[in-house]
Amino acid sequence: ISNGIAALYQLEIPADEIRFDPTPPEFEGEYTYVVFPLLKASKKNPMQTAEELGQYLLEHQNSVARFNVVKGFLNISFKSDFWTSILYQLRTEQPWLSPARSGKKIVLEYCGPNTNKPLHLGHIRNMLLGYSISKIQAAAGNDVHRVNIYNDRGIAICKSMVAYQRKGNNATPTTTGTKGDHFVGHYYVTYSNLLDEEVRTLMAGGMSKEEAEKKAPVYLEAVRMLQQWEAGDPGTLELWQTMNGWVYEGFNQTFERLGVDFEKDYLESEHFSKGRDLVLKGLEKGYFFRKDDGSVWVDLTDKGLDEKVLLRSDGTSVYITQDIGVAHQRYLDYHMDVSAYVVANEQDYHFKVLKLVLEKLGEPYADGIHHLSYGMVDLPEGKMKSREGTVV
């Protein structure tokens, strides 16, 4: 900029006095230079001055990709190798090479996919954030351990399994030429379509929508399958292992392409029972309470929240139950100071509850629970929904 001003308008402005501002998000560009102080020297209007200066930069600076002018504001876009060079420069500076170690051990969980649907743009964002945070924390001198959690059991997984039993006709990812997680995700969408059809039929017979959703045959099949899974039914477990295996193959292809890795994988299926045991232990000690239908709840109204179910009336686990079990096991594995979860902001409430439940249980790691929340990835037409097949 300084050279361009001197060459075009014979005006000397030292480089360290040139000021840039971040380009407003509604305009293209990374940085903006305001040309109004140059008008006396340029003897031209703001648009012409900005155009001239932008063209000079484009012709004389390899780092500039393009520019645009908005009412005398010169918005500049830089090439990707410009940003790469800055990162390399930062990486080689001495303060980054030998930071003072904080002594903190951090377990960082990210990705966390369900094994009934494919990875999508939301997961990509999560993994890039998680991996970046892990590198930043390591550069800051922390002892960082990257972990993943597979939500590989529960009613949502059983929904895909039921749909495959009904409509799969023994097809496989190999026979259809489909990536494993996309193959299984197709049956999650199929389940949703089957449920919609059955609900409409029941409603036509006079049933309310809420009642129809709970009495639809395909839903009852999924509930029964979950109960069979938790009871260890061999046939159910075999189908579950087969379909999850297809999904893992698909996930691993994506991880490899991204260059993302994890030190340890946790499986919900291996820890939900521990979570249930901890909940029942808390029930015995009076931390939680049982309702008339047999379900177990925690009362968090004194913390500004509400009552939260921890075990269903039939004794099966809910989402938070496995997180309680995994959090406990993670402490046994690492004895970490901080257990951080990179999860989108739709789970803000969930992690507030998790931390408070662990505090009630007297778990020593409860205070170190941190939720690193961030915004969701939406499409122009709205939120992505795996059950409707509207994911990218």
Question: Which DSSP string do the residues of 317-361 spell out, in sequence order?
Answer: B-HHHHHHHHHHHHHHHH--SEEEEE--GGGHHHHHHHHHHHHHT
Bridge partner residues of 151 (DSSP): 114
Output the pLDDT for position 88. Answer: 83
The residues spanned by each domain of the chain are 2-80, 107-388
Number of continuous H segments (helices) and E segments (strands) in the chain:
15, 14
Q: What is the pLDDT of residue 388?
A: 52
Q: What is the pLDDT of residues 177-187, one digit of tens each?
A: 999 999 999 99
Do 106 and 137 meet the contact criterion of CB atoms below 8 Å apart? yes
2-80: which CATH architecture? 2-Layer Sandwich (3.30)
CATH architecture of 107-388: 3-Layer(aba) Sandwich (3.40)
What is the value of pTM for the model shown? 0.73
What would the pLDDT profile of 12-42 be if each residue is shown by its tens digit? 999 888 999 999 999 999 999 999 999 999 9
Q: What is the pLDDT of residue 385?
A: 56
Indicate the pairing of strand 143-150 with strand 31-34.
unpaired
**Predicted local distance difference test score (pLDDT) of residue 318:** 86
Closest listed residue to residue 1, CA positions, set 34, 48, 23:
34
**65 Cβ neighbours under 8 A, 6+ residues apart:** 77, 78, 79
Low-confidence ranges of the chain (pLDDT < 50): 386, 390, 392
